[in-house]
Structures are given as structure tokens and as C-alpha cells.
Amino acid sequence: MLPYVDKIEFELLPRPTKGEDGKPLLYVRPVTQYKFDIDYIDKFCAEYRNTKRGEIVSAFNTFMSAAGQMLASGFRLETPIGTFAPKLKLNGDFTDPKKVKKTDVSYVGVEFVPSKQFQKEADCSQRGHSFKVHSTMVGNAQMHDQQAMSNALQLSMFEGHVTIKTFMLKSGLKYNSAKRYLDSLCEGDDAHWKRVKEGGVTFYYPIEPSSEKP
């Protein structure tokens, strides 16, 4: 039986673009509470969907082998769960179609477009679920709390500098968000921090008032 869930947790993360207030725009994604492998799905279907044990595993393996062969031949596959197609890319920038050779094209993966029925089956709102924000600070949520960031910087200071890893630990930010925040302190003519890369590690140093630009 599946674990009971009445609210789906989500977390907020920064987008590359910024809003009118100069802060990164946010996007939302679900927080994965459970991960089920094919064996769990197979067992669940045997208990609640009238299949035989091993049937789902066998079906997936057979489909993967057959579909892989068809996709490798450039075919497009339409299934009850969605459409599969090979995904290609050009190895370079071209404006003239006549200059594109077969060696300029590469396979990069499989494109999947879920069917309307599959999306409907997966629609959490149709199953009575609501949402709630994840209880822990994630993404860049705390980046908007200047006091929290200031405290994290002070706690991260070691021998006169801050590193991304130490700032990650003290601020709760993920690597990219921590790096982006520290880099932002070093930007502009009135920056109060500077970054120095030594041996593959980037160190962030506060700029002493006497060394600041007039």
C-alpha cells in the first residue's frame, strides 16, 4: 500500500532572470518524499492492480528493448502514456541548411511528451491533494533575509576569508545559490568583497575600508 499523502510539499528555487525588485524570480518544484523503483511498482501492481508478480518488470524490460530499437531507427512511438521520439542536436551554429552535413548532427537523448490521459492520472488535484511549503530552508529562500545572510557570512569566516562550501553549511544554501550570492557581493564599483581563486578553490575576502575605491 502506498504511504498516505494529503499534502504535496514543494520548494522554491531561483530562476536566472530577476524581478522588478532585482531579486531572482522563483520557480516551484515538488519535494520528493519517496522514491519507488520498478520492483516496488511491480509489487504494488500485483497487490492492487491484478497483475502477476514480475509482470510489470518484464513488460518494462520488453518495451525498453523494442522501443529502443525503434527509436534508434528514427521512429516516433505513440503509446497510452505518451509519445517517444529521438532527440537530435546540431553540433554548431548554422544559418545555411546547405552547409549542414550529416556529421554535424548528434543524438542527445529521448524526447517524451506525456499523453493527456497519463497527465490526468497523475494530476494530484484530481485526487484531493493540496500543497504545503517544505519546512526547511531550501533553494534561495533565505537569500532574501539579509540578516540571515549576514550572520551566515560571519559564521563562515575562517582566517579572514569565506569559501563556498563553508558558506553552504552556515547558510543552508545549495552550491549554485551560495556561489551566486557570494559572487554578487563582489560585483559593482562599490563592492565590499573580492574573490581570489587559488589552486581550484575560490576564496572570498572582505575589502578593508582603506583599500576601497574612492
Report yes or no on 189 lying in a domain: yes
- State the DSSP string of 141-182: GGGG-HHHHHHHHHHH-BTTBEEHHHHHHHH---HHHHHHHH
Please give the pLDDT value at position 73.
97
Q: Examine the pLDDT at 178 and tell me if it is beyond 80.
A: yes
Single pTM value for the model: 0.59
Residue 212 is which amino acid? Answer: E
Contact 118, 80 (CB under 8 A): yes
Set of cell numbers at residue 54: 514480475
Averaged pLDDT for residues 143-161: 84
For residue 136, being part of any structural domain is answered with no
Please indicate, yes or no, if residue 93 is contained in any of the structural domains: no
Asked whether residue 112 is domain-assigned, the answer is no
Q: What is the pLDDT of residues 43-101, one digit of tens each?
A: 999 999 999 999 999 999 999 999 999 999 999 999 999 999 999 999 999 999 999 99
The count of residues in the chain is: 214
* Set of cell numbers at residue 138: 531550501
Nearest in space to 153 (alpha carbons), one of 175, 140, 171: 171
DSSP 51: P
Decide if 62 contacts 38 (C-beta within 8 A): no
Q: Please count the CA atoms within 13 angstroms of the CA of 61 that sit on its side-chain side.
A: 8
Q: Which of 147, 148, 167, 149 is nearest to 157 (CA)?
A: 167
On whether residue 151 sits in a domain, the answer given is yes
List 202's β-bridge partners, or say none: 197
Taking residues 129-134, report their average pLDDT. 78
Higher model confidence: residue 137 or residue 68?
Answer: 68
Whether residue 91 lies inside any domain: the answer is no
Look at the chain and report how many structural domains it folds into.
Answer: 1
Does 149 map to a domain?
yes
Q: Residue 212 and residue 203: Cα distance in Å, rounded?
A: 18
Q: Which CATH number does the domain housing residue 152 bear?
A: 1.10.10.10
Q: Of 75, 74, 77, 41, which Cα lies nearest the Cα of 60?
A: 41
By residue range, what is the domain housing residue 183? 141-211
Q: Is there a domain that residue 192 lies in?
A: yes
